[in-house]
Amino acid sequence: MKKKLTFLGIETSCDETAAAVVKENSNGTADVLSNVVSSQIKEHEKFGGVVPEIAARAHVENIDFIINRAIKLSGKNISSFDGIASTAGPGLVVCLNIGYNIGKSIASFKNKLFLPINHLEGHALSPGMENNISFPYLLLLVSGGHSQYLIIKGIDNYKQIGTTIDDAVGEAFDKTAKILNLGYPGGPSLEKFAKLGDKNSYALPLPIINKGGCNLSLAGLKTDVLRKSKQIKTDQDKYNLAASFQETINKILRKKTEIAMTIFRKEIHDSSVKPFVIAGGVAANQTLRKSLKEISKKMNFKPIFPSKEFCGDNAAMIAWAGIQRCKRKVIVKQNEKVRSRWPLDKKAPFLKGPGLKF
């Protein structure tokens, strides 16, 4: 029997300092031996968003403790690990450098394999930790920095079929929550207050809904929320606007997901039930989950949501991506540098900036 790999994962791409120890099991899924995440909510709360220098300082202060804790909780010793995987991008360079450099140093000191991992690949492969999932599958990655539809054909074989041309879905939630003064972090608090409101009370725009394939645009929606927020008189108006915003995102994702599913079918020439994975922090949203489950049923897809602890940023998904790469010998050279921008599909067009036409 082939040896089952164990990896230490380290994640510091944004405002979570995280470390985890993951071992593959005999079912082909993961035994997550430890998964430690330290969130910097308190540090960034008063600014209503992540401040890179503050985030970097918090990573420096916490990283030793978090790694030691992950190793201790796993009950393993570093010497038994097959490799160490650190997020190397995309993200905030000052933050990435901390997890990357410490991972590389431990690996070098302990004479272990070091793998720099793409954070998006971590999210993309994360459902495999809990499910025996076969390629190809459709992925909707919705986080604070990214919103993409990808066809995951295999490890290191990714085709982007849609992306946001301006704001990411999580970013739109965060900015709307900030406009409405609903608290930080924005996504979960907006979801909470939306429950108190009437989702049909405000008509908000659905940018590029009938053009641009399964690409997304959300900046116009946020601007309209800002405009309408100026007319708010009561808390109930505020909750109504939050509920209407969430419902608008819901409508956009329903339509765009249907288009992405049609593109996926054309690309793979297979009409059997296929997995549709929804990953990234926004995948925790219950209203969106319900909608995406309905659309999956209609379009003959099996929806898969990672557990809440693996939806947001975590290091287990980074360790897992390291294991998958190591197993298939898809190894990035060790002299890789961290990168702020690192698309999963290198051939995908860069759809941002003025002059973009559909």
Indicate the residue among 137 and 193 with the shorter CB distance to ligand KG4. 193
Indicate the residue among 96 and 106 with the shorter CB distance to ligand KG4. 96
275 binds, among ligand KG4, Zn ion, none (CB under 5 to 8 A by kind): none
282 binds, among ligand KG4, Zn ion, none (CB under 5 to 8 A by kind): ligand KG4
Distance CA 77, CA 94 (A): 29
Q: Which residues contact 166 (CB under 8 A, 6 or more apart)?
A: 217, 218, 219, 352
The β-bridge relationship of strands 83-89 and 147-154 is unpaired
83 binds, among Zn ion, ligand KG4, none (CB under 5 to 8 A by kind): none
103 binds ligand KG4 (CB under 6 A): no
Q: CB of residue 175 vs ligand KG4: minimum separation in angstroms?
A: 9
Indicate the residue among 82 and 313 with the shorter CB distance to ligand KG4. 313
Torsions phi, psi for 102 (to 5 deg): -70, -40
Dihedral sign, CA of 211, 160, 118, 342? negative
343 binds ligand KG4 (CB under 6 A): no
The 3-state DSSP class for residue 31 equals: strand
Instruction: Convert residues 180-219 into a mask of x (bound to ligand KG4 by CB under 6 A) and - (unbound).
Output: -----xxxx--x----------------------------
Instruction: Convert residues 84-123 into a mask of x (bound to Zn ion by CB under 5 A) and - (unbound).
Output: ----------------------------------------
Q: Taking the C-alpha atoms of 216, 220, 222 and 226 in order, what is their torsion angle to the nearest 10 degrees?
A: -170
Indicate the residue among 40 and 74 with the shorter CB distance to ligand KG4. 40
Indicate the residue among 143 and 217 with the shorter CB distance to Zn ion. 143
The β-bridge relationship of strands 137-142 and 83-89 is unpaired
Residue whose entry in the numeric block shows the structure tokens 């915003």: 245
Instruction: Convert residues 277-316 into a mask of x (bound to Zn ion by CB under 5 A) and - (unbound).
Output: ------------------------------------x---
Indicate the residue among 99 and 281 with the shorter CB distance to ligand KG4. 281
By CB under 6 A, the count of residues binding ligand KG4 is: 20
Amino acid identity for residue 330 in this structure: V
Indicate the residue among 48 and 188 with the shorter CB distance to ligand KG4. 188
Of the candidates 143, 240, 257, 296, which one interacts with ligand KG4 according to CB under 6 A?
143
The 3-state DSSP class for residue 176 equals: helix
DSSP string, 123-158: HHHGGGGTS---SSEEEEEE-SS-EEEEEEEETTEE
Kindly identify the residues of this chain, within the stretch 277-316, that bind ligand KG4 according to CB under 6 A: 280-282, 284-285, 312-313
Q: How many other C-beta atoms are found inside a 10 Å radius of the C-beta of residue 212?
A: 18
| C-beta separation of 319 from 7 below 8 A | yes
Distance CA 358, CA 348 (A): 16
Could you list the residues that contact ligand KG4 (CB under 6 A)?
Answer: 14, 143-145, 170-171, 173-174, 185-188, 191, 280-282, 284-285, 312-313
